[in-house]
Structure 1
């Protein structure tokens, strides 16, 4: 016999409640009163008990701002049973709880059928929806009434097929509210990245943050993304995460051409462990120096082999009074005392510098480099707040 739908169970619970039968409430409260998180972990609730829990949560005086499945039972069953609560919440934290394409389909259907849903942020990181589940979510994002602003799908076994479905859905919905999309640690493939590029090229696209860390982005795929953004002067994109990919110097040169464009609105670029060397670093530095109207505020170049020669190029950027960088990360970049001296000298010579955070961890500044950096911090004009 099939379990009744959440709606039917809730109706049944309403009847019991009107008859002043509070036994279900008491049973559920017993589970919820257990200490720590995961109150329902290992519990075998009946459909009626699940419905009692839904009723209690929907009628609670507490505002349903955030639903965290880990506070109850990190499982797909918990999601399916508490769907009415999820759709009534503003943020849903459903990461790492075994959600498959079935759970994604049910969630998408519930949100499509509830035009008054409050859900704005959805975190499905570390689940297994795969392409089939992502297609269901794409159908939701295609819906003109969908109000989602942030979707996280990190490490969800998505390939180019699922990525293409997402991009196509967003392109076909000019009224989409989506501003942040996290696709980290998925194998998007050439066609998937091409679809994303086509999305970024669309003047109706309102994405402000795109995360593609560890997505096998090569120099060609990086070039496609950069070209799309260059061709869209009305782009809203502010943050681009390409950490742990392999664009190399050739891909970074394409990104540099983007940063050189006066219409580029990027404020934060992350290129951690991207196989960048002196040549790529020089291209980035040249682009920033030649664009006094650059919006870039944060640049992450950690774990690249920039060396002292690459850092000297960046120092010339920091020396420029037009440079608006506020955070620069150079952890593990093969920097010695010469590079540290160049950085310190550049910042001392630019009293209007905006730099507030500088990360030089895991380099080899030596005693002379440390002295130069110490002298910089003692300078009354230095605005650095964090030096690592």
Structure 2
């Protein structure tokens, strides 16, 4: 599929299924590449293939990773979270997946060690107030500033979104956040 390492900075794949063979080929091409942005949008990513991708990303300077509409569930988020502190990811977008409070809590446990991460998009998942609160507290307690946190269209009501916004307003560590129906 890819004869050598990729010499491009950005790759966007949409509407495809990444099986073990295609993910292995992508991972081989990504290793030591100049890639700074990878989008696998509206793809079906089998959780069994995810470690192959994450291992390859350890050998890149990838700054932006978007795995939106990738049918990801909590088990996939656990793998991503475990790799996050070792990656150079600045922007992580896991929107439109099936992530729950468990994913938010797992991410909260590692964001303090993910020093390059400044933007986290978890828009339109299945995260409730408890998971969102845990994540806001974790981001508020780390020395790095989070420029954008998007938890819009998750499982909390407008009053709970207002309460989360109040939490964010009390911390200088999160510059901008969305907990409602906004897009930014």
User: TM-score interval w.r.t. the shorter chain?
Assistant: 0.7 to 0.9
Map residues 76-155 of structure 1 onto 2, 5 A cutoff.
Answer: none
Report the RMSD for the aligned CA atoms in angstroms.
2.0
State the Cα distance separating 1:319 from its structure 2 match.
Answer: 2.6
Corresponding position of 2:12 = 211
Corresponding position of 1:227 = 28
2:97 counterpart of 1:304: yes
Partners of 1:226 and 1:373 lie apart in 2 by 39
Partners of 1:360 and 1:282 lie apart in 2 by 18
Given the two structures, how large is their TM-score scaled by the length of structure 2? 0.86
Count of residues paired in the alignment: 178
What do residues 184-235 of structure 1 show as CA deviations (whole Å, max 9, x unaligned)?
xxxxxxxxxxx2x334x3xxx42111111113333542232123323xx2x1
Partners of 2:77 and 2:51 lie apart in 1 by 9
State the Cα distance separating 1:251 from its structure 2 match.
Answer: 2.3
Q: Higher strand proportion, which one? A: 2
* Kept after mapping to 2: 8 A contact 1:340/1:373: no
Pick aligned residue for 2:151 from 341, 354, 360: 360
Q: Higher helix proportion, which one? A: 1
What do residues 71-127 of structure 1 show as CA deviations (whole Å, max 9, x unaligned)?
xxxxxxxxxxxxxxxxxxxxxxxxxxxxxxxxxxxxxxxxxxxxxxxxxxxxxxxxx
Given the two structures, how large is their TM-score scaled by the length of structure 1? 0.43
Larger relative contact order (CA 8 Å, sep ≥ 6):
2
Map residues 28-43 of structure 1 onto 2, 5 A cutoff.
Answer: none
SS in 1 for 2:38: strand
- The runs of 5 or more residues in structure 1 that have no matched partner are 1-194
Partners of 2:144 and 2:10 lie apart in 1 by 26
Partners of 2:127 and 2:102 lie apart in 1 by 9
2:38 counterpart of 1:240: yes
Select the structure of larger CA radius of gyration.
1
2:110 counterpart of 1:317: yes
State the Cα distance separating 1:370 from its structure 2 match.
Answer: 4.3
